[in-house]
């Protein structure tokens, strides 16, 4: 009964979404205030229907209703409760439903927080979101229905892929999807602006918070995914340039560009056409990423059950959403009047450079990801593009990007002088050079030393804008401190996000210096690695809820001092006859000790031990970046509607 209710609620959501698409857009076109005012209510209706649908899927999974095909294929009665819940989005059908739910939440959020938007803009934004929802919900309903029944009812389910039974991966998809789908809001704002034929500073101010929120979530989502591959796959790597990883990186890159170009729209009313294109492009890349993964076109370790028929449906959907918006862009963009001139050396100029570099990186990553496909299609050549290509093309582009990241914020708007700006960064340059030289002398690793210098440059340079704003050492210290307290949160947010990038770079550089060894040892034997002594105490069996574990006990000491007991294990999942390695990681602030248990042979066990220098900084830096985004988001000046209250007259209703 419950699954049928969910099925019905999904169909109802399609109806609501269709109404949400047609009524407000028509209302905005015909200037009918009542029709426009219906937009939020329709968005709420769609949201409630989808919450009911998703709730029934979760319910079916929680009560082990194996008559539901989706539950039978992906769940098992012995599976821990958290994975019964997270299992609903760990498969194709459920994850598409989650997509729809998040899209509906976006519509609801614009309805709720957008009360102070001009009514026609709000109606159009919600309408565009509704149109996108119709497509995805139809996709769920027609080709990926999670509520299909199974007869006869199996005694138990097939269980979820053990690799996915992990707390980190339980929360990874919702956060990542929230980031992907969140870019639907800037997209909807862009399309609405094209329909309205008008973009001004307030448009930039409205778009920015939504972009920031999605960007922060996407940053966190990518970080969780990378962390998962670091500790669950047990390969010691954290980024593999896998197509699915690239698919998440692409919208992140263009989204970062969008975040910055929207500032220019807001402050200077320039770069309007470009910003609209970026907003459309970012969401298009989010959608295409999903398409490439789900259709089975891309060869990836993450693949879902693929099906070309589903691929055709999504491709049609993409053609409508992306093609339609780009067509609208081609027709309407000339209407957007350009204003706000600026000289190449200025804050705007630096942000344009940022956009050019970020989009170039996105372009080379995109090329590397899809080139093998098109080479196969056009020249029947089987090639694979691997990390060497990405490292060779992306890294050179990051050098000017990192250089400019510290310089940009100290430039003034409109027209700036480069010399004085650089002078203000002398101490950051000095610090970076010192770090680089120490790293080179200490590790003799040229590129890593360069990366360390870049990281120091970024971390120190990020705070140059604040130091400049509080006129440190130019006015009395108390005066500076009171200025410090008065700095808007968005300035802090920007500085912290840039510093977070620096931390991630330091982590990546540190990881390239990681020390690792693979050894076969007997219990009692000790291995020395990176100044630590690793002793295998013994091996024993343990029983988990749905797996049997073989656990190694390793004591790690340093100069006789115990650092910790490690318990890496190999978990054999009973229902899926699959073994998953469970890495043991102990993290200090500056390094990870990382142990993986391999096969056993005649009393010896294979151990892989790592000393990953600065590894935690990779993910910590990403979290700091997301935190910076969050700080900017809660800045009063950006709070949605706050500026509108002053500048806009609410139309009579």
Q: Is 158 in the site for another protein (CB under 8 A)?
A: yes
Q: How far is the CB of 244 from another protein (least distance, A)?
A: 14
Q: Is 90 in the site for another protein (CB under 8 A)?
A: no
Q: Which is nearer to another protein, 3 or 243 (CB)?
A: 243
Report the residue from 112, 326, 491, 529 that binds another protein according to the rule CB under 8 A. 326
Q: Decide if 652 contacts 118 (C-beta within 8 A).
A: no
Report the residue from 333, 549, 624, 626 that binds another protein according to the rule CB under 8 A. 333
Q: Is 577 in the site for another protein (CB under 8 A)?
A: yes
Q: How far is the CB of 419 from another protein (least distance, A)?
A: 32
Q: Which is nearer to another protein, 281 or 349 (CB)?
A: 281
CA 333, 335, 340, 343: dihedral to nearest 10 degrees?
A: 50
Q: Is 386 in the site for another protein (CB under 8 A)?
A: no
How many angstroms separate the CA atoms of 163 and 229, rounded? 10
Tokens encoding 382: 């089987």
Cross-strand pairs, 68: 149
Q: Is 55 in the site for another protein (CB under 8 A)?
A: no
Residues 6+ apart with CB under 8 A from 350: 404, 407, 408, 409, 411
Q: Is 327 in the site for another protein (CB under 8 A)?
A: yes
Q: Which stretch binds another protein (CB under 8 A): 135-143, 195-203, 327-335, 399-407?
A: 327-335
Q: How far is the CB of 620 from another protein (least distance, A)?
A: 34
Closest CA to 161 of 549, 540, 571, 585: 571
Q: Is 155 in the site for another protein (CB under 8 A)?
A: no
Q: Which stretch binds another protein (CB under 8 A): 292-300, 343-351, 398-406, 454-462?
A: 292-300
What is the sign, positive or negative, of the torsion defined by CA atoms of 15, 325, 111, 210? positive
Q: How far is the CB of 187 from another protein (least distance, A)?
A: 14
Report how far apart, in Å, the C-alpha atoms of 13 and of each of 97, 100, 132, 300, 382 are. 11, 9, 12, 32, 43
Q: What is the CA radius of gyration of the chain?
A: 26
Tokens encoding 186: 């800037």
Q: Is 576 in the site for another protein (CB under 8 A)?
A: yes
Q: Which is nearer to another protein, 292 or 508 (CB)?
A: 292
Closest CA to 298 of 370, 366, 225: 370
Q: How many residues bind another protein (CB under 8 A)?
A: 39
Q: Is 445 in the site for another protein (CB under 8 A)?
A: no
Q: Is 151 in the site for another protein (CB under 8 A)?
A: no
Closest CA to 321 of 366, 287, 357, 361: 287
Q: Is 299 in the site for another protein (CB under 8 A)?
A: yes
Output DSSP code: residue 321.
I
Place of tokens 């080139």: 371
Site for another protein in 496-525 (CB under 8 A): none
Q: How far is the CB of 374 from another protein (least distance, A)?
A: 6
Q: In this structure, how many other beta carbons lie within 10 angstroms of the beta carbon of residue 596? A: 26
Tokens encoding 594: 């990382």
Q: How far is the CB of 273 from another protein (least distance, A)?
A: 7
∠ Cα 38 40 42 (to 5°): 70
Q: Decide if 238 contacts 618 (C-beta within 8 A).
A: yes
Q: How far is the CB of 372 from another protein (least distance, A)?
A: 8
Tokens encoding 73: 């294929």
Q: Is 426 in the site for another protein (CB under 8 A)?
A: no
Q: Is 161 in the site for another protein (CB under 8 A)?
A: yes
Closest CA to 357 of 395, 406, 391, 413: 395
Q: Is 308 in the site for another protein (CB under 8 A)?
A: yes
Site for another protein in 346-375 (CB under 8 A): 370, 372-374
Report the residue from 318, 364, 438, 450 that binds another protein according to the rule CB under 8 A. 318
Tell me which residues touch another protein (CB under 8 A): 158, 161, 273, 277, 280-281, 284, 291, 295-299, 305, 308-309, 311-312, 315, 318-319, 322-323, 326-327, 329-330, 333-334, 370, 372-374, 376-377, 382, 576-578
């Amino acid at each position: 009964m419950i699954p049928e209710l969910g099925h019905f609620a999904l169909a109802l959501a399609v109806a609501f979404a269709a109404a949400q698409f047609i009524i407000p857009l028509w209302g905005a076109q015909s200037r009918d205030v009542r029709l426009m005012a219906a937009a939020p209510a329709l968005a709420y209706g769609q949201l409630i229907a989808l919450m009911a649908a998703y709730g029934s899927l979760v319910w079916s999974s929680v009560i082990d209703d194996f008559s539901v095909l989706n539950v039978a294929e992906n769940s098992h009665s012995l599976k821990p409760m958290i994975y019964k819940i997270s299992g609903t989005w760990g498969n194709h059908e459920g994850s598409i439903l989650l997509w729809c739910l998040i899209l509906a939440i976006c519509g609801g959020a614009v309805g709720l927080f957008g009360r102070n938007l001009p009514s026609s803009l709000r109606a159009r934004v919600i309408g565009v979101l509704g149109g996108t929802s119709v497509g995805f919900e139809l996709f769920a309903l027609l080709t990926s229905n999670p509520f299909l029944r199974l007869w006869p009812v199996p005694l138990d389910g097939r269980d979820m892929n053990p690799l996915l039974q992990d707390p980190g991966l339980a929360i990874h998809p919702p956060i990542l999807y929230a980031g992907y789908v969140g870019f639907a809001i800037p997209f909807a704002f862009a399309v609405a602006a094209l329909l309205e034929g008008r973009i001004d500073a307030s448009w930039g101010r409205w778009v920015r918070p939504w972009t920031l929120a999605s960007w922060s979530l996407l940053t966190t989502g990518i970080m969780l995914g990378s962390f998962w591959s670091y500790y669950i796959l047990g390969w010691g790597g954290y980024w593999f340039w896998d197509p699915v990883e690239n698919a998440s990186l692409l919208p992140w890159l263009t989204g970062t560009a969008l975040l910055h170009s929207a500032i220019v729209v807001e402050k200077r009313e320039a770069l309007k056409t470009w910003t609209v294109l970026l907003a459309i492009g970012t969401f298009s890349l989010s959608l295409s990423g999903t398409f490439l993964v789900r259709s089975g076109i891309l060869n990836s370790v993450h693949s879902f059950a693929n099906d070309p028929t589903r691929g055709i449906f999504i491709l049609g959907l993409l053609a409508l959403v992306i093609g339609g918006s780009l067509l609208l862009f081609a027709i309407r963009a000339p209407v957007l009047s350009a204003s706000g001139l600026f000289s190449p050396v200025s804050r705007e100029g630096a942000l344009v450079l940022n956009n050019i570099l970020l989009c170039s990186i996105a372009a080379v990553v995109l090329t590397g990801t899809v080139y093998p496909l098109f080479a196969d299609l056009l020249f029947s050549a089987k090639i694979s593009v691997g990390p060497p290509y990405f490292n060779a093309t992306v890294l050179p582009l990051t050098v000017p990007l990192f250089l400019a990241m510290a310089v940009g914020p100290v430039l003034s708007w409109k027209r700036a002088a480069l010399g004085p700006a650089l002078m203000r960064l002398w101490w950051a340059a000095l610090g970076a050079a010192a770090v680089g030289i120490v790293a080179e002398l200490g590790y003799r690793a040229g590129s890593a030393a360069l990366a360390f210098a870049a990281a120091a440059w970024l971390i120190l340079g990020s705070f140059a804008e604040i130091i400049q704003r509080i006129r440190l050492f130019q006015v009395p210290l108390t005066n500076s401190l009171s200025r410090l307290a008065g700095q808007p949160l968005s300035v802090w947010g920007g500085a912290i996000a840039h510093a977070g990038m620096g931390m991630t770079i330091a982590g990546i550089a540190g990881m390239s210096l990681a020390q690792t060894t693979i050894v076969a040892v007997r219990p009692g034997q000790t291995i020395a690695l990176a100044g630590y002594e690793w002793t295998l105490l013994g091996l024993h069996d343990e029983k988990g809820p749905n797996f049997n574990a073989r656990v190694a006990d390793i004591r790690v000491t340093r100069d006789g001092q115990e650092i910790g007991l490690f318990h890496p294990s190999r978990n054999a999942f009973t229902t899926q006859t699959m073994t998953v390695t469970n890495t043991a990681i102990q993290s200090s602030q500056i390094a990870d000790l990382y142990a993986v248990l391999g096969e056993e042979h005649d009393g010896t066990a294979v151990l892989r031990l790592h000393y990953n220098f600065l590894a935690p900084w990779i993910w910590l830096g990403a979290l700091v970046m997301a935190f910076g985004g969050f700080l900017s988001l809660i800045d009063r000046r950006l709070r949605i509607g706050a500026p509108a209250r002053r500048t806009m007259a609410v139309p009579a209703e």
